[in-house]
Structure 1
């Protein structure tokens, strides 16, 4: 697959980052942390029923002498919108990140366990943007203070689902504590993103990749529809044959009954 012209730190082209994740996990707060702790994105980590961010938002700032554009997206599985509407809103982020994001930050909140919904976030992200998006993404854990005496490595290794997620993103991750104003955690994140961009040959996720993902989704949808149609046809055929068989059985019973009646009449006569 071809990539764009190489991106290097310090270039005029800004580093373009897209935040993706559930509502209420600290996604917008993570964007504010990257932007130097400013309240650029409206954030409410206690809002778990609906997303504070309803449309994609883009903020560009100078971070340590370089231009960084951060795009915040609506929360996945937001009950305020239909799944299709949410997906379409998130796809809009590609136009804000034109000509394409250098990195997707898939935000996951650290807790006592990695939930099934967390797994679904990753699966939905890869379904929307395609498996190739995993090369341009890393997991950004928020609420790092909840680790307490446990290291992030222990948190990762003691959950099989999380390990699978970890591997889908080429074992790339970073931990944020949004309550701590520490520029070091942002510097380390940008270093990891720079390394990822370098590993990708200086490229970024392109609109062509999105189109390929959408084509794959459409092909999969058509395949499922075809399978369902064939299965329905087989079921109808089986029911028809069963009905025919039952009809024949009833006919045979009637004939046997009539035959026995006829024999009884013969015996009487």
Structure 2
């Protein structure tokens, strides 16, 4: 049975004429960034675009949905940076605000994001919210959203001599999350923004995800 959120999303599309016949050409690649506060979502968005175009709030994180367009490696890209939608304490008693922010993010990524990039801070405390991320994404964006979800680890420099694979294997919960997202993951060191190889590799992995999904966006 079609979920209530999916019905609302389809109704919202129809109301705004978001069909394939819409003459306005969307970006070749639409990326919606998710994660808790202070994991490096905004820094990641700026690293992908190779410049400081996204703003941050007083707590060094995005305070509202924000969209930026740019050409990166020959691709027309739209990135939608989001507030800490996974921050349970923030939204626990404000479900209407959560729904509003989610709907705004989807509106900015119309006709739909190609990928949800889930940002997780390495060597940070892996919280209950992050452990339940897949369920959260399915509940708020629909069952199908997980097929479009990609995990990106930030603060790669904190691992020192340990490999990313070793770090993931140490945590059954983290390994389970990666498996649920089709073993799609990458890492960034946002302190080394001049290293565009990490961006190129991310975009190539995202393009493979899109190919695996038959070229469809969410």
- TM-score band, normalised by shorter chain: 0.7 to 0.9
SS at match of 1:138: strand
Q: Does 1:166 align with 2:178?
A: yes
SS of the aligned residue for 2:215 comes to coil
Secondary structure of 2:167's aligned partner:
helix
Corresponding residue of 1:17: 31
Tell me, what secondary structure is at the counterpart of 1:167?
A: helix
Instruction: Give the TM-score taking structure 2 as reference length.
Output: 0.80
Residues 231-267 of structure 1, C-alpha deviations (whole Å, 9 max, x = no match) = xxxxxxxxxxxxxxxxxxxxxxxxxxxxxxxxxxxxx
Alignment correspondent of 1:192? 205
The answer for the alignment partner of 2:214 in structure 1 is 201
Gaps of 5+ in 1: 6-10, 206-269
Which has a greater percent of helix?
Answer: 1
Cα distance in 1 for residues equivalent to 2:134 and 2:122: 15
Question: 1:147 deviation in Å?
Answer: 1.1
Residue 44 of structure 2 aligns with which residue? 30
Q: Give unpaired runs (5+ residues) of structure 2.
A: 1-18
Answering whether residue 73 of structure 2 is matched by residue 64 of structure 1, we say: yes
Measured in 1, the distance between the counterparts of 2:26 and 2:217 equals 15
**Counterparts of 1:22 and 1:87 in 2: how far apart (Å)?**
16
Q: Are the counterparts in 2 of residues 145 and 177 from structure 1 also a CA contact under 8 Å?
A: yes
TM-score by length of 1: 0.66
Question: Aligned pairs, how many?
Answer: 192
Structure 2: how far apart are the matches of 1:166 and 1:53?
Answer: 25
Question: Does 69-78 or 57-66 show the bigger shift?
Answer: 69-78
Aligned pair partner of 1:183 in 177, 196, 206: 196
Q: Please list, as runs of the form range in 1=range in 2, the aligned pairs for 1:1-269 lying within 5 A after superposition.
A: 13-36=27-50, 38-43=51-56, 47=59, 52-76=61-85, 77=87, 79=89, 82-111=94-123, 114-181=126-193, 182-205=195-218
| C-alpha displacement of 1:64 | 1.4
Kindly report the root-mean-square deviation, in angstroms, between the aligned alpha carbons of the 2 structures: 2.3
Task: Determine helix, strand or coil for the equivalent of 1:92.
Answer: helix
Give the direction of change, closer, same or farther, for the CA distance of 1:52–1:167 in structure 2 (3 Å limit).
same
